[in-house]
Structure 1
């Protein structure tokens, strides 16, 4: 286990280095940050002097070296627009994004596992055909279109749910969240369903396929031959082994959902990191853009490592070190 941790740590550092290099390299192609910092009346000479003062005219490797030396100390720069460290700006918005991802993950778990298991146990039923048809349609519809349709039906036509914003929040044990108020929950329903629609069809089909494979294994056949109750065979033997690949894929998709919140947060004006990222692009706030890309990459790296560890703990037959017995 220790060898695996060291190996993954080295891999994570290499991946984060590459991500930081790519994120820093693209910022020069995003436009002129001075456009938002100074007015139209500022002369070109003053602009050049300000660029020199900010280090924008330095060679790329000089700028990147300066960035890395500060980044290893936790300093990713200051936002041009907010006039604050970009880490603080992102952390302020992170709570809202994690709240949305958590709600979407709950929907995925609560819906996909029962539907996937039912579809595997009753592969020829009419309900299974409906579920599979729904999953195909769900995979085909973009998340922003799902968000717009939900908003039109439930906010505009029926007027049941709010169409934008985060709603009222409350603080519980230091966690400021909309989960603790009725207004916050009402604002959370449509965005979380929209975000869940990205992964929900995938997980329904994944649970179904893994469950079908588990039901065809020898140990399940042996359990049936022993006369065990069907529910015990399904839920104690087959479902337990079905969850191993689901956990692996689920952990990886958490990072994907954080990245996909850009579309959901834009449609619903949700005040999270995704909406912040788009605003940073419009304002050419390059330090904030670079920090966001690095932040999303870090989430992917951390979640992948944790999933590998969790998979090894759940399934002791997995050799984390990759060495033979």
Structure 2
């Protein structure tokens, strides 16, 4: 098991090294932040001083190696616009994104797996057909359209829920959370529902397909012949056997939702990391852009590493093949 983990860590290190080069060069090619940071009427002396202070007068390769050297020390640089450390800036926005993503992903997974197992167990019932119709709708409708419809229906027409912002927050262990207050919870419901809709549809279809396949296997036939109840078969056999693809999708969707909750955060004016990166791209705040993409790449690498380890714990054959 230890050799399996070491092998995956080495692979992850190579991926991060390659991603750091791609991200740095890609962000460098987007545009010149000097044109936005420095006023048009600034003198050449002021322009030269700002360029020198930001390190933009150095060759690209030298900027990259300075970046890597600082990165090893945990320094992602300072924001061009906010003039604060980038990690401090991102950390201040992270709790808002984290609570939104966790609520949406966990609820979509729990509800989606349950509905998917039922749809696979009773495929011909009208409830199962309704569940599958909802899953088709979740795959077909773009998230920005769902968000606008949710705002129009529940915020504008009915007036039941607020249309944007984070609402009242409470500080726990030095971090602000909104889902712990009634006002904050009312603010998070619509964006969480919008973010969870596509994930719910995916989990339903994944759980249904796995359940339909497993229900036809000899394992289930023997369990029924042994007199095991249907509920126990679903809990101990079906759910366990479909757990590997569900763990995979949960891990990947958790990472992708954290990384790409941009649309939902923009529509609902949610003050998270996604909205921060959109604002940073608009003003070409290069340190924030680079740090965000590096952290997202690291997030995906860590999630994949965790999923591999969970795989190995669930199925010992995987770590034997990977050794």
TM-score (norm 1): 0.95
Give the 3-state SS of the residue equivalent to 2:316 in structure 1. coil
**Aligned residues of 1:136 and 1:201 also touching (Cα < 8 A):** yes
Residues 261-317 of structure 1, C-alpha deviations (whole Å, 9 max, x = no match): 111100011111000000101111000001011111111111111111122223334
Gaps of 5+ in 2: none
Give the 3-state SS of the residue equivalent to 1:164 in structure 2. coil
Instruction: Using the TM superposition, give the Cα deviation of residue 102 of structure 1 relative to its aligned residue in structure 2, in angstroms.
Output: 0.7
Mapping for residues 135-284 of structure 1, pairs under 5 Å: 135-284=135-284
Give the 3-state SS of the residue equivalent to 1:171 in structure 2. strand
**1:68 maps to which residue?**
68
Q: Distance in 2 between matches of 1:49 and 1:64?
A: 21
Cα separation, partners in 2 of 1:149 and 1:320, compared to 1, 3 Å: farther
TM-score (norm 2): 0.95
Mapping for residues 99-138 of structure 1, pairs under 5 Å: 99-138=99-138
Instruction: Using the TM superposition, give the Cα deviation of residue 6 of structure 1 relative to its aligned residue in structure 2, in angstroms.
Output: 1.4
Instruction: Using the TM superposition, give the Cα deviation of residue 4 of structure 1 relative to its aligned residue in structure 2, in angstroms.
Output: 1.6
Instruction: Using the TM superposition, give the Cα deviation of residue 173 of structure 1 relative to its aligned residue in structure 2, in angstroms.
Output: 4.2
Q: Distance in 1 between matches of 2:31 and 2:79?
A: 15
Q: Distance in 2 between matches of 1:14 and 1:128?
A: 45
Q: Are 1:39 and 2:39 counterparts?
A: yes
**1:17 maps to which residue?**
17
Mapping for residues 279-290 of structure 1, pairs under 5 Å: 279-290=279-290
**2:30 maps to which residue?**
30
Instruction: Using the TM superposition, give the Cα deviation of residue 3 of structure 1 relative to its aligned residue in structure 2, in angstroms.
Output: 1.1
Instruction: Using the TM superposition, give the Cα deviation of residue 49 of structure 1 relative to its aligned residue in structure 2, in angstroms.
Output: 4.1
Q: Distance in 2 between matches of 1:304 and 1:24?
A: 22
Q: Distance in 1 between matches of 2:54 and 2:321?
A: 46
Q: Distance in 2 between matches of 1:198 and 1:121?
A: 22
Gaps of 5+ in 1: none
Aligned residues: 323
Q: Distance in 2 between matches of 1:231 and 1:55?
A: 64
Q: Distance in 2 between matches of 1:96 and 1:142?
A: 23
Instruction: Using the TM superposition, give the Cα deviation of residue 88 of structure 1 relative to its aligned residue in structure 2, in angstroms.
Output: 1.0
Give the 3-state SS of the residue equivalent to 1:11 in structure 2. helix
Q: Are 1:322 and 2:319 counterparts?
A: no
Residues 232-286 of structure 1, C-alpha deviations (whole Å, 9 max, x = no match): 2222222221222101221111111112211110001111100000010111100
Q: Distance in 2 between matches of 1:11 and 1:86?
A: 27
Instruction: Using the TM superposition, give the Cα deviation of residue 48 of structure 1 relative to its aligned residue in structure 2, in angstroms.
Output: 3.4
Q: Distance in 2 between matches of 1:176 and 1:309?
A: 32
Residues 111-146 of structure 1, C-alpha deviations (whole Å, 9 max, x = no match): 201210110111111121121122112111111111
Residues 158-179 of structure 1, C-alpha deviations (whole Å, 9 max, x = no match): 1110111111111234442112
Q: Distance in 1 between matches of 2:174 and 2:198?
A: 30
**Aligned residues of 1:3 and 1:321 also touching (Cα < 8 A):** no
Give the RMSD, CA atoms, in angstroms.
1.5
**Aligned residues of 1:138 and 1:197 also touching (Cα < 8 A):** yes
Give the 3-state SS of the residue equivalent to 2:171 in structure 1. strand
Cα separation, partners in 2 of 1:172 and 1:322, compared to 1, 3 Å: same
